[in-house]
Amino acid sequence: MKKSLVILSALATVASAAHAQSSNVTIYGIVDASIEFANNGKDKLNRVQSGNLSQSRIGFTGTEDLGGGLRALFTLENGFNVDNGSFAQSGLLFGRQAFVGLSSSAGAVTLGRQYEPLHSMHTKFSTHAVGFGDAAAAYVPALEDVRLDNSIKYVSPVFAGVTLSLFYAFGENTTVPNVSQSYGNLFNIQANYDNGPLSAALSYASKKKTPSVPDNLTKNLAAAVSYDFSFMKPYLVLETVRNDFSSVAIPNYDFWSVALDVPLGGGRVNFSYGSLKNKSAANANSRSYGLVYDYDLSKRTTLYTGYSRVNNDAKANFGVGSANGSEVAAANPGADPRALVFGMRHKF
């Protein structure tokens, strides 16, 4: 931990010097903390929580003009828990993002630890980027893989409002025996459309990620749309998850969610509802509800409060999610976890 903190400090010093010289390196971050009053469906839990609305982080990003329209670029982003000062993402130094690449008029290619486009779709079409109260936050492990190591990503230029993303991550398997290194490889292709207030996306991802059945291929197909009416902004997300060898242990899912942003009193009210249907087991469906109000004290500082609840069928076991990934887990299958939060987020 001490070595990691020294590295972060050194990077901050270097980034500050580079910023002063050429303004092509930026240090940025978020500090988010809240008081959470939770119930896992059986027991109460009151605590200070980090990153409910947005995960606390510090990042370094920069570009260099190489001439002829070619640019080098990088991002290094650390996630941390402000409630106890520890690193998030299992203690990784740059667990949120770590990539380097090149961009030009032909698009951008990056290598490293990166978000899959499917995750970026969920963050774009939810009220708080898959944060507290967002329906998808309760079901992330079932719906997407979030970020992956050893990945290559290509993002095309914008053509008539459409941007194409191609993503491939190498599993580099060394943990599942008697299976090739290609186990865990993920492919994701996604198209995004933006035209004024209208946004839409279509995404397909596939990955072999079931250790007990290594030949099983999990396939995700998702679509999303939103429209900003200025006085409100609705979102709709639809997704199917299908497995070659589906079973009770390897379930297929149908997911849909609706969300709404409404400006109110200098802030905004956010409502989200999501439904996850288990197609491989009876009495294993789940529904997620979220209501959040956030108020901006300034462009960088926000106060928020919210309530989120997950209703599980008798054999479902999903918890209340947050941007930090730390959920209020259900006490047992069929339990209905919920949480009330009062928090503050500061961006820098």
The dihedral sign for the CA sequence 91, 96, 102, 108: positive
Give the mean pLDDT of the chain.
93
Q: Is residue 103 part of a domain?
A: no
Rg (CA), the chain: 20
φ/ψ of 143, rounded to 5, equals: -100, -25
Taking residue 249's Cβ as centre, other Cβ atoms within 10 Å add up to 11
Residues 311-332, mean pLDDT to the nearest whole number: 94
Q: Is residue 101 part of a domain?
A: no
Q: Is residue 13 part of a domain?
A: no
Taking residue 128's Cβ as centre, other Cβ atoms within 10 Å add up to 25
Q: Is residue 97 part of a domain?
A: no
- Using the predicted structure, report yes or no on whether residue 6 has a pLDDT greater than 90: no
Q: Is residue 28 part of a domain?
A: no
Taking residue 10's Cβ as centre, other Cβ atoms within 10 Å add up to 10
Q: How confident is the model at residue 20 (pLDDT cuts 50, 70, 90)?
A: very low
Task: Find the range with the poorest average confidence among 66-75, 100-109, 169-178, 258-267.
Answer: 169-178
Helix (H) or strand (E) holding 179: none
327: burial class by Cβ within 10 Å (0-12, 13-18, 19+)?
buried
- Using the predicted structure, report yes or no on whether residue 19 has a pLDDT greater than 50: no
Task: Find the range with the poorest average confidence among 15-19, 57-61, 95-99, 325-329.
Answer: 15-19
What is this structure's pTM?
A: 0.91
Q: Is residue 320 part of a domain?
A: yes
Helix (H) or strand (E) holding 276: strand 267-278
Task: Find the range with the poorest average confidence among 152-161, 276-285, 318-327.
Answer: 318-327
3-state secondary structure 72-112: EEEEEEEEECCCCCCECHHHCCCCCEEEEEEEECCEEEEEE
Tally the domains of the chain: 1
Q: How confident is the model at residue 223 (pLDDT cuts 50, 70, 90)?
A: very high
Q: How many residues does the chain have?
A: 348
Residues 144-154, mean pLDDT to the nearest whole number: 97
φ/ψ of 334, rounded to 5, equals: 95, -10
- Using the predicted structure, report yes or no on whether residue 96 has a pLDDT greater than 70: yes
Q: How confident is the model at residue 181 (pLDDT cuts 50, 70, 90)?
A: confident
- Using the predicted structure, report yes or no on whether residue 138 has a pLDDT greater than 60: yes
Q: Is residue 91 part of a domain?
A: no
Residues 166-191, mean pLDDT to the nearest whole number: 91
Give the CATH number, domain containing residue 225: 2.40.160.10
Q: How confident is the model at residue 219 (pLDDT cuts 50, 70, 90)?
A: very high
Q: What's the pLDDT at 180? A: 80
Q: Is residue 16 part of a domain?
A: no
- Is-contact 32 51, C-beta < 8 A? yes
Q: What's the pLDDT at 12? A: 52
Residues 15-31, mean pLDDT to the nearest whole number: 70
- Using the predicted structure, report yes or no on whether residue 225 has a pLDDT greater than 60: yes
- In the chain, the amino acid numbered 250 is I
- Which residue range forms the structural domain that includes residue 207? 33-58+116-347
Q: What's the pLDDT at 178? A: 82
Task: Find the range with the poorest average confidence among 190-194, 212-216, 236-240.
Answer: 212-216
d(CA 149, CA 172): 9
- Using the predicted structure, report yes or no on whether residue 8 has a pLDDT greater than 80: no
Residues 276-287, mean pLDDT to the nearest whole number: 98
d(CA 157, CA 141): 30
Q: How confident is the model at residue 21 (pLDDT cuts 50, 70, 90)?
A: very low
- Is-contact 252 279, C-beta < 8 A? yes
